[in-house]
Amino acid sequence: MLNSKSKSYWLFLAPSLIGLLIVLFIPLAMGTYYSFTNWDGLVSTAFVGIQNYVKAFQDQTFINSLIFTAKFSIVSIILINVIALSLAQLVTQKLGNWNTFFRTVFFMPNLIGGIILGFIWQFVFNKAFQGIADATGLKIFSDWLSTPSTAFWGLAILFVWQMSGYMMIIYVSFINGISDDILEAAAIDGATGMQTFFRVKLPMLMPAFTITLFLTLSSSLKIYDQVLALTQGGPFNSSQTAAMNIYNEAFQNNNMAYAQAKATIFLILIVIVSLVQIRITSKKEVSA
């Protein structure tokens, strides 16, 4: 039987569990079922087995969106974490009141919504960059959102600018948790600043890497609103992410069941990649 402490525990936990059941687990179960039908979103339809999944794996547009999402995620994860760790190192130096100022400035882009952020950078790439190109004659600043390669880097710049400040805060909290005694001992032993960072700080930051890599990985894989506002998946679907492909399939083509099959495949891929990442970085924590 449950004692009074256990009853209180489950009583306070019940609202969260009910919420998860209603908004996550029930829709997930329903969506998985519909992925095995030819449901169009309005009427119940016949069971078609794995037909939607076979079709998804033969859909080159969907495959291309997965490849683009993977490339975008790899580039974003590397740049965000390198920049965020560098910024964290900067704002944890003895800069007086400037520390708070820099932390606020670097974190502010994360407070801007994805759609608004997309429109801001659309103006930067289409107007400011084009103005530089017209004034200087440098073609590298011209038509940034009109070619697949520059559109890719435009999205990467936008996402890195948005997420780096957020990841910086996580690194800052872990850097501040490193004991001054350890750093002083390293200095007494004659360690340089670089040696202290790579031999002392970096191994102790492995728990932070586990968190930041997971957050940047999950955010980059499911990116949608920034792409919608900046490129709308163009040019020629070259910057279409998996999330955008699934959305377009469901709400533009009205192929709800087929889109759900794509979403299920994408969910499984995200879960696998996330679990592998957590397992690898968790091992590094232990070895460090």
* 154 inside domain: yes
Q: What is the mean pLDDT of residues 11-27?
A: 89
DSSP code, position 43: S
User: Phi first, then psi: what are they for 270, rounded to 5°?
Assistant: -60, -45
* Residue found under tokens 């936008």: 158
Q: How would residue 159 be classed by pLDDT, with cut points 50, 70 and 90?
A: very high
* 46 inside domain: no
Q: What is the mean pLDDT of residues 155-169?
A: 93
User: Phi first, then psi: what are they for 166, rounded to 5°?
Assistant: -65, -45
What does the CA dihedral 114, 116, 119, 124 come to, rounded to 10 degrees? -90
For residues 21 and 185, give the distance between their C-alpha atoms in angstroms, rounded to a whole number. Answer: 51
For residues 165 and 224, give the distance between their C-alpha atoms in angstroms, rounded to a whole number. Answer: 20
Q: What's residue 55's pLDDT?
A: 94
* Residue found under tokens 């690194």: 171
* 20 inside domain: no
Where b means 16+ CB within 10 Å and e means fewer, 168-193 reads bbbbbebbeeeeeeeeeebeeeebee
* 208 inside domain: yes
**CATH number of residue 253's parent domain:** 1.10.3720.10
Q: What's residue 60's pLDDT?
A: 94
* 130 inside domain: yes
Q: Are 125 and 151 in contact (CB under 8 A)?
A: no
Q: What's the number of domains the chain is made of?
A: 1
Q: Cis omega (within 30 of 0) on the bond before 235?
A: yes
For residues 193 and 197, give the distance between their C-alpha atoms in angstroms, rounded to a whole number. Answer: 6
Strand, coil or helix: what is 144?
coil
Q: What's residue 104's pLDDT?
A: 85
Q: What's residue 178's pLDDT?
A: 83
Residue type for position 216: T
Q: What's residue 249's pLDDT?
A: 92
Structural domain of 77: 60-287
User: Phi first, then psi: what are they for 77, rounded to 5°?
Assistant: -60, -45
State the burial class of residue 206 (Cβ atoms within 10 Å of its Cβ: 0-12, 13-18, 19+): middle
- Residue 78 neighbours by CB under 8 Å, 6+ apart: none
For residues 28 and 176, give the distance between their C-alpha atoms in angstroms, rounded to a whole number. Answer: 40
Residue type for position 284: K
Select the highest-mean-pLDDT range: 2-6, 80-84, 116-120, 221-225.
Answer: 80-84
Q: What's residue 185's pLDDT?
A: 86
Q: What is the mean pLDDT of residues 244-258?
A: 91
* 50 inside domain: no
State the burial class of residue 231 (Cβ atoms within 10 Å of its Cβ: 0-12, 13-18, 19+): buried
For residues 82 and 216, give the distance between their C-alpha atoms in angstroms, rounded to a whole number. Answer: 12
Residue type for position 154: G
Q: How would residue 4 be classed by pLDDT, with cut points 50, 70 and 90?
A: low
User: Phi first, then psi: what are they for 40, rounded to 5°?
Assistant: -105, 10
Q: What's residue 3's pLDDT?
A: 65
* 22 inside domain: no
For residues 37 and 49, give the distance between their C-alpha atoms in angstroms, rounded to a whole number. Answer: 7
Select the highest-mean-pLDDT range: 110-114, 191-195, 196-200, 215-219.
Answer: 215-219
Number of Cβ within a 10 Å radius of residue 31: 18
User: In 139-255, which ranges are continuous DSSP H helix?
Assistant: 148-176, 180-188, 193-196, 202-204, 206-221, 225-230, 242-251
* 230 inside domain: yes
